[in-house]
Amino acid sequence: MTTPMPPGAPRQHPPQTHNPNLQQKSDSLPDNFQNLNLNMTSPSLTSHIRSPPTTSTSVPSQPISRPGAPPPEIVPGHNVPPNMGSVRPFRPPGGQPLPFGTRPPPGSLPSSMGGGPIITPGGSSASGLGGRPSAFGGSIRNSPPAGVPPPMMVAGRPPGQASGMVPFVGSLQLSRRPGPPMQSALPFSAPLSAPFGTLTWAPSQVAPATAAPDSVQPHRMFGMPPPQPNQVLPSIDQTGSSLEDAWKINSNQVPRPTPSSSVIQYDTHQGNQANTPPPATSDYIVKDTGSCSPRYMRCTIHQIPCTADLLTNCGMEFALMVQPLALPHPHEEPIPVVDFGEHGPIRCSRCKGYINPFMKFTDHDRQFICNFCGFIGSTPHEYQCNLGPDGRRRDAHERPELCRGTVEFVATKEYMMRDPMPAVYFFLIDVSRNAVQTGATAAACAAISQVIADLPEGPRTKLGIATFDSTVHFYNLKRVLQQPLMLIVPDVHNVYIPLETDVVVQLSECRQHIEQLLESIPTMFQDNRTAESAFVAAIKAAFLAIKSSGGKLLVFQSVLPSVGMVALSARDAEGRGNISAGDKEPHKLLQPADIALKTLAIEFAECQVCVDVFITTQAYVDIASIYVIPGTTGGQVYYYYPFSSISDPVKLYNDLRWNITRPQGFEAVMRVRCSQGIDVKEYHGNFCKRIPTDVDLPGIDSDKTIMVTLKHDEKLQDGSECAFQCALLYTTVYGQRRIRISTLSLPCTRNLTNLFRSIDLETQFVCSLKQVANEIPYTPLLQMREQVTHICINKLFAYRKFCTTATKSGQLILPEALKLLPLYTLGLTKSTGLKTDGRIDDRSFWINYVSHISIPLAVCLVLPRMIAVHNLDLHKPEGTESVIPQMLPLSSEYVSEEGIYLLENGVDGLIYIGSLVDSNILRQLFGFSSVEETPNQFVLQQYDNPLSKNLNHVVNDIRRQRCSYLRWTLCRKEDASGALFISYLVEDANQKGGPSYSEFLVHLHRSIQAKIC
Ligand SMILES: [Zn+2]
């Protein structure tokens, strides 16, 4: 509290702890892009030598200029606030697979991650440590340097904005949509005249897909304009619309997501209340006016039911989706960083809730009332300020912690049990016979070698490399030798590290050795005949090497872990003969095979080691077991099956690059607090939980979402406010300890109609989806599918029962807010997680992927986006808005054999080539002229023609939205790839007995009728 500074004033000079790294890369972004040609490195199997990062021979005329790609969206050259800009990956040049995601130059980052202004409340610019108790709740460890603004991450568009699924919420116009049936929004107003059962729905009338340009545009059914900027979403007067004769209606009239190309401007709070957020899948720009951005925290309902009974009656999920480090939109303001000096942030002394805009100051500001527990605490003397006539502090608008829903506090010593950990990366590479022969080893080495340039610079960044087959091999990275010195650990039942030092080294000192080693590894093992993998032993050994500091362990694995500690068996063989039984009992193969893995994972988490596993395989590897380690340590699994040395190296590289360059933190602890009366029931996601109140996250990044289910402890007052606060204590990659606080305050209600109006459909659905995914390994599949349908029926039934008055029985009522629930539910029942056929590992991967993804990614996973690409004509000026065309309904009716269609779900991208496609179009897009020439392994390229350029634009925009490179496959009718594509057409009936969309609506209707009677 020394130097008085106006609150809110950014510090002028970076404090002493200023990290040198930050200064350097000012131009690094563009440079990186220029130099990164490595995308194409797909080492040839024969040579086993990593090809130099040059583009492959097949590169078309357009040379790769910048890499770029997927993640979020900052297009260079566009007006981006200084704080956020550069980080974004760019649109890749044409077809070239590009890497995306580069660490932003220091200083370019949005706030918290480093670039934001640091504010010192109370005028203190001191960054001392010290003093005040704090306690994150008791589980804090480590410590950061004193507060300085670090550099850090990225800004960008949130992953997942599906341009295709936009505002359904609050769209009054629903009833004005063209076309007849659905007229009204009045519940029950449109009597059902036809009997059920006659499914004579006439698809033919609907705008069928044709190859002719323009004809493929889907009808904009419920097309209402997205909520306008700053506009409060209209309340829904008419609570529903009835669906007449679903089976008679042509497919044009069933509810579908409506694409919107415009960006919604959203203010989080207005007057005294929170504004209803735009749908999670829409494209929006948030202005934090008191409540946190819905990107960071979003509730399943925007009004809180006063009692548990009310909640039960409406059949809704009650949970928060928390994505504490979510990528902001490039046009959003950075999160302010506030430094309270040695005293640390102000907190309630009873519940430890952090100061936020909803705490009330009384008694001339000498006291404040906690909005979580109601405790009246005294305001520290130096923090007092006069109150205005409205009872608010006069300085409230100048202090981010009093006027912003999300702020980041510089953590004091109290929040550290040791110095904040350095950035430590350990790469572990499978060199068993299979890995080497399939090109996986070479691809991993090439990818690592290329991303080293993207690791945070600075003296604290460390790196280690080991390889494994049936033994584990460490390397002395320090000694100057002609050849790297290999140190073998033969005992894979009781591993150890062969050297105490020099196995993990300072990156800046040993860069050359590391690069040399990575180049040699594929050759060194080219004749390796060892087929076994001591995967678990290798991970344990690598863990021992970085245990003292903690860090990221990135593992490249190609075969089933078959020897050493926790050896697994190919148990899928027994499962294969057991598929039908799988319908009647839980599929044990979806459960981890050995609990020892969990014990190991907890040990890793306790030492702040976060594990990511890149599975590049041709066979079953038991993901259900392997996943336990990343799932407990804040990591994730990447899955390349069957691994292709032609098309996958590029994706592997891009995935790895995004993994290390996305905004992230280490050694984190997260807790959610709620106002009295509501309590956290459970946390779901990738973390380690050792005490009931907090989750430990050895690693946390912008893509990870944690679901927090809630419950009532007591009754809430009608009209009162209920607040939720997520506190994430973490260390930045540059070693600063920070506390990111997001606070959301919502009104409480006793009115069921209000509750139905305030449903956040996507969040509700994703909440159910995550719970279902959790249960799949322990519940018979058939039962699971029925359960999913019942969840949907119960919600619609509750609405019918409690929110509608006199009604005729023959109507299916789809309330506005739940209109898309049937379609989402249908998509879920046909998804990889719930369909009866399919590989065990695919399903395990799906289950585990669902557990940590964001709302937009979860929605597109069950309801993929399909667009026509044979007639792409992108009128929009580059860089302004999404260039992705409107999505088509997922119905074969919209797929013409004369057209080409792209379908993506955030993980896979399928491009279907109709059997009658014009050969000229084929040549322009893919370089071959007949469908028969369609290759099995595909790398998208850009040719010198407008159509090809447009396709590349679209693909890159999709990558950026999804923050994923996606695995692309060309599909054609004649073979399995075509069947795969067809299996994603959710609205069609399928051969496995899955109903069509209209059949499903009929089924729902009958079930609801049965419950009423
Ligand atoms: Zn309190």
Could you report the per-residue pLDDT of 274-324, keeping only the tens digit for each? 999 999 999 999 999 999 999 999 999 999 999 999 999 999 999 999 999
pLDDT tens column, 347-357: 999 999 999 99
- The mean pLDDT of the chain is 78
Q: What is the pLDDT of residue 139?
A: 33
Amino acid code (one letter) for 407 = V
How would residue 767 be classed by pLDDT, with cut points 50, 70 and 90?
A: very high
Q: What is the pLDDT of residue 235?
A: 26
Q: What is the pLDDT of residue 801?
A: 87
3-class secondary structure, 637? strand
**723 Cα to the center of ligand 1, angstroms:** 11
pLDDT tens column, 263-276: 899 999 998 889 99
* Residue indicated by tokens 């295709």: 164
Q: What is the pLDDT of residue 807?
A: 57
Determine the Cα–Cα distance for residues 980 and 643; give it in Å rounded to an integer. 17
Give the strand pairing for 812-815 and 737-749: unpaired
**351 Cα to the center of ligand 1, angstroms:** 4
Q: Taking 70 as the threshold, does the pLDDT of residue 652 lie above it? A: yes
Angle between helices 840-850 and 761-775 (to 10 degrees): 130
> Which backbone phi and psi does 616 adopt, to 5 degrees?
-110, 95
Q: What is the pLDDT of residue 220?
A: 28
Q: Taking 50 as the threshold, does the pLDDT of residue 829 lie above it? A: yes
CB of 657 closer than 8 Å to CB of 87: no
Determine the Cα–Cα distance for residues 995 and 1007; give it in Å rounded to an integer. 15
Q: Taking 80 as the threshold, does the pLDDT of residue 693 lie above it? A: yes
Residues 6+ away with beta carbon under 8 Å from 871: 211, 212, 213, 214, 216, 899
Tokens of 80: 């981006």
Q: Taking 50 as the threshold, does the pLDDT of residue 26 lie above it? A: no
Q: What is the pLDDT of residue 330?
A: 93
**302 Cα to the center of ligand 1, angstroms:** 23
**348 Cα to the center of ligand 1, angstroms:** 5
Q: Taking 50 as the threshold, does the pLDDT of residue 98 lie above it? A: no
**Chain length of the chain:** 1013
**380 Cα to the center of ligand 1, angstroms:** 15
Q: Cβ atoms within 10 A of the Cβ of 855, count?
A: 27
Least confident of 185-189, 486-490, 503-507, 599-603: 185-189
**759 Cα to the center of ligand 1, angstroms:** 28
Dihedral class, residue 77 (left if φ above 0, else alpha if ψ from -120 to 50, else beta): left
How would residue 119 be classed by pLDDT, with cut points 50, 70 and 90?
A: low
Alpha-carbon distances, residue 437 vs 267, 558, 957 (angstroms):
55, 10, 34
**369 Cα to the center of ligand 1, angstroms:** 8
Nearest CA-CA partner of 331 in 75, 702, 105, 69:
75
CB of 386 closer than 8 Å to CB of 398: no
Strand partners, 615: 557, 639
**370 Cα to the center of ligand 1, angstroms:** 5
Strand partners, 387: 393
Q: What is the pLDDT of residue 588?
A: 86
Residues 6+ away with beta carbon under 8 Å from 40: 54, 55, 56, 59, 96, 97, 649, 650, 939
Q: Counting beta carbons within 10 angstroms of the beta carbon of residue 721, is it exposed (0 to 12), middle (13 to 18) or buried (19 or more)?
A: middle
Q: Taking 70 as the threshold, does the pLDDT of residue 175 lie above it? A: no
Q: Taking 60 as the threshold, does the pLDDT of residue 218 lie above it? A: no
**673 Cα to the center of ligand 1, angstroms:** 9
Q: Taking 60 as the threshold, does the pLDDT of residue 230 lie above it? A: no
pLDDT tens column, 547-588: 999 999 999 999 999 999 999 988 877 655 445 445 667 778
Q: Taking 50 as the threshold, does the pLDDT of residue 227 lie above it? A: no
**352 Cα to the center of ligand 1, angstroms:** 6
Give the mean pLDDT of 716-722: 95
How would residue 374 be classed by pLDDT, with cut points 50, 70 and 90?
A: very high
**373 Cα to the center of ligand 1, angstroms:** 4
DSSP for residue 424? E
**873 Cα to the center of ligand 1, angstroms:** 56
More confident residue, 236 or 859: 859
**354 Cα to the center of ligand 1, angstroms:** 8
Determine the Cα–Cα distance for residues 22 and 456; give it in Å rounded to an integer. 9
Q: Taking 70 as the threshold, does the pLDDT of residue 22 lie above it? A: no
Q: What is the pLDDT of residue 576?
A: 56
DSSP string of 29-74, one letter each residue: HHHHHHH--GGG----TTT-SPPPS---TT--SS-------SSS--
Q: Determine what percent of the chain is predicted with pLDDT higher than 90.
A: 62
**366 Cα to the center of ligand 1, angstroms:** 16
Claim: this prediction has a pTM higher than 0.75: yes
pLDDT tens column, 876-891: 654 456 788 989 999 9
> Which backbone phi and psi does 13 adopt, to 5 degrees?
-120, 145
How would residue 734 be classed by pLDDT, with cut points 50, 70 and 90?
A: very high
More confident residue, 934 or 993: 934
**874 Cα to the center of ligand 1, angstroms:** 54
Q: What is the pLDDT of residue 480?
A: 60
How would residue 118 be classed by pLDDT, with cut points 50, 70 and 90?
A: low
Give the mean pLDDT of 778-784: 91
**111 Cα to the center of ligand 1, angstroms:** 27
* Residue indicated by tokens 């679901």: 707
The dihedral formed by the CA atoms of 592, 598, 599 and 605, expressed in degrees to the nearest 10: 160
Dihedral class, residue 233 (left if φ above 0, else alpha if ψ from -120 to 50, else beta): beta
Q: What is the pLDDT of residue 121?
A: 53
**371 Cα to the center of ligand 1, angstroms:** 7
Q: What is the pLDDT of residue 899?
A: 96
Q: What is the pLDDT of residue 10?
A: 32
**274 Cα to the center of ligand 1, angstroms:** 21
Q: What is the pLDDT of residue 176?
A: 29
Q: Taking 60 as the threshold, does the pLDDT of residue 83 lie above it? A: no
**377 Cα to the center of ligand 1, angstroms:** 9
Q: What is the pLDDT of residue 809?
A: 57
Q: Omega into 642 within 30° of 0, i.e. cis?
A: yes
Q: Taking 90 as the threshold, does the pLDDT of residue 477 lie above it? A: no
Nearest CA-CA partner of 671 in 293, 288, 324, 301:
324
**513 Cα to the center of ligand 1, angstroms:** 54
Q: What is the pLDDT of residue 309?
A: 96
**679 Cα to the center of ligand 1, angstroms:** 13
More confident residue, 302 or 58: 302
Q: What is the pLDDT of residue 583?
A: 62
CB of 276 closer than 8 Å to CB of 232: yes
How would residue 250 be classed by pLDDT, with cut points 50, 70 and 90?
A: low
**121 Cα to the center of ligand 1, angstroms:** 21
Q: Taking 80 as the threshold, does the pLDDT of residue 51 lie above it? A: no
Q: What is the pLDDT of residue 810?
A: 65
Q: What is the pLDDT of residue 390?
A: 83
**433 Cα to the center of ligand 1, angstroms:** 59
3-class secondary structure, 422? coil
**404 Cα to the center of ligand 1, angstroms:** 19
Give the strand pairing for 609-616 and 551-557: parallel
Q: What is the CA radius of gyration of the chain?
A: 28
Give the mean pLDDT of 201-218: 32
Give the mean pLDDT of 323-339: 96
**360 Cα to the center of ligand 1, angstroms:** 12
